[in-house]
Amino acid sequence: MFRAELRKILPYRTVWIILALFIVLLALFVSAGGNVVLNGQQVGATLYTFPGLWQKLAYVASYFNLLLGILLVILITDEFQFRTFRQQVIDGASVAELLQNKLLVSGLLAAFGMLTVLGLGFYFGLTRAADTANQATVGITAVALYGVQVLGLLSLAALLAVLVRRSGPSILLFLLYAWVVEPLLRFSLPDELDRYLPAKIFNSLTPMPGQEVLDTMTGPSVALLPTQALPLALVYTAVFWGLSYFVLRSRDL
Amino acid sequence: MAILELNNLSKAYGSTTALRNLTLSVEPGSVYGLLGPNGSGKTTTLGIALGVLRASGGSVRWFGQAPSASNRRRVGALLETPNFFPYLSARQNLLLAADVKHADPSTVDRALDVTGLGTRQHDAFKGFSLGMKQRLALASTLLGNPEVLVLDEPTNGLDPQGIAEVRGLVTRLAADGKTIIIASHLLDEIEKVCTHVAVLQRGDLRAAGPVHNILATADRVVLRPASDTSATTLQQALATLPWVSDVRPETAGSFSVALSAGQGSADLNRALFAQGIALAGLEVRHRSLEAQFLELTK
């Protein structure tokens, strides 16, 4: 069945445009970062030194995850718009298979995100801070945590796409939730609770670089540590895919 | 064992009932027509049978089993509209469908040939005319050589030549022993190819059975008495025959009557002669399915 999924994706120009955009924007951002001037000094090569690079890159890349979310929303809502989910069920696919394929696609997108981060990390690290190359693999687990973050956000994107079925409103809802709804919720909830909200949990996987330094000055942050957030992020991901399955199964196609 | 059994199937959309307690059975090798005006519940019936609509009540059985993805793969179906990826070519779309159906990709070439799409196979679906989209949907139903075909309005958007081709295709497939279920509001289409028919109206089943039975009950016998028999005498004689009904006067002193199943025009002639009435003319008037359909859905 997954071959069928590849037959849909590989010739689809929109997919390649969004993936290229992800690489180019992230590369430009990371490249431009070295030219930033702070307190009259160019940040320069210190930005690209291993082992801190991986955490910085994962944090920066997390801002571009929305592009991958939008892509998955498009791939799922297309199936409703073209009525191809309906046709595939008629042709002998089960609802579970339809979603398993999208789950695999989300896995591929997460792998793509991780590979992009790894590629850019090695490129910039080895070319602009070659003297730290002996520590190139230290802290590389940040990239794996970033991959889990992508998987988590994509599970939320998939749920919204299955619920709303139309690309425009789904994308809008996805952005609204990540940027407006959850921040507002966090505002009104006590700190002990808001750190368990899904977008917050996913964000906790790629903490802001230097958070530890800040913590020593301002007291420990309320956000969970990446290692604490990891199991919860996986639970949210599973729950969102489970809900998508439940919605798709209980409605007419 | 029936190919498809529908048992007390119902479907409601909010307060609208699209289907009410439909019970039907499609036997192997039959060409089963679902007939009814727009909105009568044909597509709803097939949508439930094919697993894309949830029934409000009742059950479906395919090949004697509960519906499943694997028994749907034994069915080639075109439901309502041709559903394909617009940016993929005809061939790419069929290869994708073949993967979903677990069908041999080599059947794609044959399906393209049979539906006359061979020369346009590399063109994107979005550039196709309605007729070509319909042909592609028909091609898709043939992938993997399924035992059963479900065709919902298969001649939609086709030109007269295309319609004749589809009819020929259905006849050929039926001759190969395939079971075919066709929904249509075009009576001519159904009458020409079907062995069985079910008539639906506003979600209710109005009649179901072999086409000749449905039509036979619609046949009328027109009789013209000899000049020495008065109309009253003839009417009185007909009234004594319990298997004669619906006596209607026709032009030039003739009458038309409906006969119960199992009785023919010869029986009528014999019974009247036994009562001393000679007929100057006796003719069986076959009714078209259209006339019968209008009668059933009146």
Q: Kindly state whether residues B247 and B265 are assigned to the same domain.
A: yes
Q: What's the Rg (C-alpha) of chain A?
A: 20
In terms of residue numbers, what domain contains B263? 217-296
Least confident segment among A107-121, B54-68, B200-214, B217-231: B217-231
What is the predicted pLDDT for the residue at A213?
Answer: 61
**Domain CATH number, residue B289:** 3.30.70.100
Selected residue with higher pLDDT from A12 and B171: A12
For B4, phi then psi, to 5°, come to: -135, 130
Q: Is residue B147 predicted with pLDDT exceeding 90?
A: yes
The residue of chain A with its CA nearest to that of B126 is: A82
* Domain end (from B189, B215, B241): B215
Selected residue with higher pLDDT from B255 and B186: B255
What is the predicted pLDDT for the residue at B104?
Answer: 93
Least confident segment among A61-70, B33-42, B56-65, B120-129: B33-42
What is the predicted pLDDT for the residue at A36?
Answer: 67
Q: Kindly state whether residues B226 and B94 are assigned to the same domain.
A: no
From A172's Cα to the closest Cα of chain B, the distance in A is 24
The residue of chain A with its CA nearest to that of B75 is: A91
Cross-strand bridge partners of residue A144: none
Q: Kindly state whether residues B188 and B40 are assigned to the same domain.
A: yes
Q: Kindly state whether residues B106 and B225 are assigned to the same domain.
A: no
**Residue in A4, A78, A93 nearest the CB of B69:** A93
CB contact under 8 A, A90 and B79: yes
pLDDT band at A68 (very low <50, low <70, confident <90, very high): very high
What is the predicted pLDDT for the residue at A41?
Answer: 62
**Residue in B52, B86, B140 nearest the CB of A86:** B52
Q: Is residue B19 predicted with pLDDT exceeding 90?
A: yes
What does the pLDDT look like over A188-210, one tens digit per residue?
888 788 888 998 899 999 988 76
From A80's Cα to the closest Cα of chain B, the distance in A is 10
Q: Kindly state whether residues B163 and B231 are assigned to the same domain.
A: no
* Domain end (from B182, B215, B248): B215
What is the predicted pLDDT for the residue at A45?
Answer: 65
Selected residue with higher pLDDT from B296 and A128: A128
| Percentage above 70 pLDDT, chain B | 99
What is the predicted pLDDT for the residue at A65?
Answer: 93
What does the pLDDT look like over B221-243, one tens digit per residue?
899 988 888 888 888 999 999 99
Q: Kindly state whether residues B14 and B156 are assigned to the same domain.
A: yes
Least confident segment among A52-66, A209-223, B205-219: A209-223
Say if residues B94 and A112 touch (Cβ distance below 8 Å): no
Q: Is B227 exposed, middle or buried (0-12, 13-18, 19+ CB in 10 A)?
A: exposed
Q: Kindly state whether residues B140 and B22 are assigned to the same domain.
A: yes
Say if residues B84 and B135 touch (Cβ distance below 8 Å): no
Cross-strand bridge partners of residue B200: B205
What is the predicted pLDDT for the residue at B171?
Answer: 87
**Residue in B83, B92, B101 nearest the CB of A92:** B101
Q: Where are the domains positioned within chain A?
A: 2-250
Q: How far apart are CA A84 and CA B274, in angstroms?
A: 68
Q: Is residue A219 predicted with pLDDT exceeding 60?
A: no
**Residue in A8, A83, A90 nearest the CB of B96:** A8
pLDDT band at A16 (very low <50, low <70, confident <90, very high): very high
Selected residue with higher pLDDT from A105 and B258: A105
Q: Kindly state whether residues B58 and B155 are assigned to the same domain.
A: yes
The ipTM value here is 0.89
From A150's Cα to the closest Cα of chain B, the distance in A is 27
What is the predicted pLDDT for the residue at B117?
Answer: 92
Q: Is B125 on the interface with A (CB under 8 A)?
A: no
CB contact under 8 A, A92 and B70: yes
Q: Kindly state whether residues B199 and B224 are assigned to the same domain.
A: no
pLDDT band at A19 (very low <50, low <70, confident <90, very high): very high
What is the predicted pLDDT for the residue at A215?
Answer: 63
**Domain CATH number, residue B17:** 3.40.50.300
Mean pLDDT, chain B, whole residue set: 90
What is the predicted pLDDT for the residue at B230?
Answer: 86
Q: Is residue B143 predicted with pLDDT exceeding 70?
A: yes
CB pairs under 8 A between A and B: 76
Chain A neighbors of B60, CB-CB under 8 A = none
For the residues A125-138, what does the mean pLDDT come to? 83
Q: Is residue A43 predicted with pLDDT exceeding 70?
A: no
CB contact under 8 A, A13 and B87: yes
Cross-strand bridge partners of residue B220: B258, B285
* Domain end (from B173, B192, B215): B215
In chain B, the N- to C-terminal Cα span, in Å, equals 34
Q: How far apart are CA A27 and CA B92, in angstroms?
A: 34
What is the predicted pLDDT for the residue at B142?
Answer: 95
Q: Kindly state whether residues B275 and B130 are assigned to the same domain.
A: no
Q: What is the count of structural domains for chain B? A: 2
**Following DSSP, what letter does each residue of chain B receive, concatenated?**
--SEEEEEEEEEETTEEEEEEEEEEE-TT-EEEEE--TTSSHHHHHHHHTTSS--SEEEEEETTB---HHHHTTEEEE-SS----TTSBHHHHHHHHHHHTT--TTHHHHHHHHTT-GGGTTSBGGG--HHHHHHHHHHHHHTT--SEEEEESTTTT--HHHHHHHHHHHHHHHHTT-EEEEEES-HHHHHHH-SEEEEEETTEEEEEEEHHHHHHTT-EEEEEE-TTS-HHHHHHHHHT-TTEEEEEE-GGG-EEEEE-TT--HHHHHHHHHHTT--EEEEEEEPPPHHHHHHHHT-
What is the predicted pLDDT for the residue at A44?
Answer: 65
What is the predicted pLDDT for the residue at B185?
Answer: 76
What does the pLDDT look like over B189-228, one tens digit per residue?
777 788 999 999 999 998 899 887 776 666 788 999 888 8
Q: Is residue B37 predicted with pLDDT exceeding 80?
A: yes
Q: Kindly state whether residues B139 and B230 are assigned to the same domain.
A: no
Q: Please name which of B2, B111, B82, B96 lies closest in space to residue B49, comparing C-alpha atoms.
A: B2
CB contact under 8 A, B53 and A252: yes
pLDDT band at A220 (very low <50, low <70, confident <90, very high): low
Q: Kindly state whether residues B181 and B114 are assigned to the same domain.
A: yes
How many residues in total does chain B contain?
Answer: 298
CB contact under 8 A, B53 and A87: no
Mean pLDDT, chain A, whole residue set: 89
